[in-house]
Amino acid sequence: MQRPFSNVAVKRGRSVRRMFTWVLLALAILIVSYFGLGLYVATRLTAPSNEPMAATPASVGLKFREVSLRSTDGVRLSAWWVPKKGASRAVILVHGWGGNKSNEQILKTAPIYARAGYNVLMMDLRGHGQSEAVRRTLGYQETRDVRGALGWLEKKGFGPGEIVLHGWSMGAATVVRSAPGTGVAAVVEDSGYADLPLLLNRSLPENSGLPSFFNFGTMLMAKVFLNFDAWAVVPYHQASELAKSGTTLFIIHSTTDQTVPFEQARLFRKADPKAAFWKLEGYEHVDSYTAPDYREKLLDFLRELKAKEAA
């Protein structure tokens, strides 16, 4: 005859197993929900943003041609080409996140380069403006776009040492990451981030509406499913490479930038102590072009660059 306590033990064992099963199920649901929300946020934030053109170079007195080029991985890119007869130098102007080649800071900067004797290429990065509507990756895949633009200029006869890369915000981070090994003459980074993970840890909760606890899940899902490794976008590493190779870097940043904090400019300066550095006060993100001395600051940099090359 079975003893009563045996039945009790069996019931207790079943109860423990059921509880363990429910705990595992709840844990699985929490994990799936955590990473599912991360993937949703990453998918939404990296979706294409093909905003219409606000203006063209004609609005600032420049004659231009619409051109099409390809990134190094085959993405179709739209650009405006402002040729300068007899000029051997060129600049590539690169917009920021959510912008395009018609952004005011680009159209206000293009004539400065043109009058300084540069051919000007204004491009839409992937997933922006009139370029192919593929996913945006905050400077991770966009380096392929800038490299594609460099290849386009090379086919037109421009050597790397005759080219300047100039970018704003995400475009600034992208041109810094794109430059090492290319031999470009100089890089101008305006309001760019030197450490994307550091920036995202601060800004992702604002953009996603989720607590910072979800940052890791969002970034991991972007890496696993969307071919976007945010942890790899640390442009101050490339700034250090530029310093070692002797490529000239110009850092422009305002202490009151609320989008990309000034600490990011300090990281660039630490990586390249010899970089030209214009510290502004009282200007918003990528608004340096509105400063009264913007034109002269940029021209002074180009004159110094020319003198360095002649030396």
What are the tens digits of pLDDT across the range 10-39?
Answer: 566 666 677 767 767 777 788 888 999 999
pLDDT of amino acid 128: 97
pLDDT of amino acid 4: 54
Q: Which residues does 101 contact at the CB level (< 8 Å), separation at least 6? A: 53, 78, 79, 80, 93, 95, 122, 123, 124, 129
Give every strand in the sheet of 65-70, ordered side by side.
65-70, 76-82, 118-123, 89-94, 163-168, 186-190, 248-254, 276-280
pLDDT of amino acid 143: 98
State which amino acid sits at residue 298. L
pLDDT of amino acid 300: 97
pLDDT of amino acid 194: 98
pLDDT of amino acid 1: 45
pLDDT of amino acid 29: 83
- Environment class of 68 (CB within 10 Å of its CB; exposed 0-12, middle 13-18, buried 19+): exposed
pLDDT above 90 covers what percent of the chain?
85
Per residue of the chain (311 residues), what is the pLDDT tens digit? 445 556 655 566 666 677 767 767 777 788 888 999 999 999 999 999 988 899 999 999 999 999 999 999 999 999 999 999 999 999 999 999 999 999 999 999 999 999 999 999 999 999 999 999 999 999 999 999 999 999 999 999 999 999 999 999 999 999 999 999 999 999 999 999 999 999 999 999 998 999 999 999 999 999 999 999 999 999 999 999 999 999 999 999 999 999 999 999 999 999 999 999 999 999 999 999 999 999 999 999 999 999 988 87
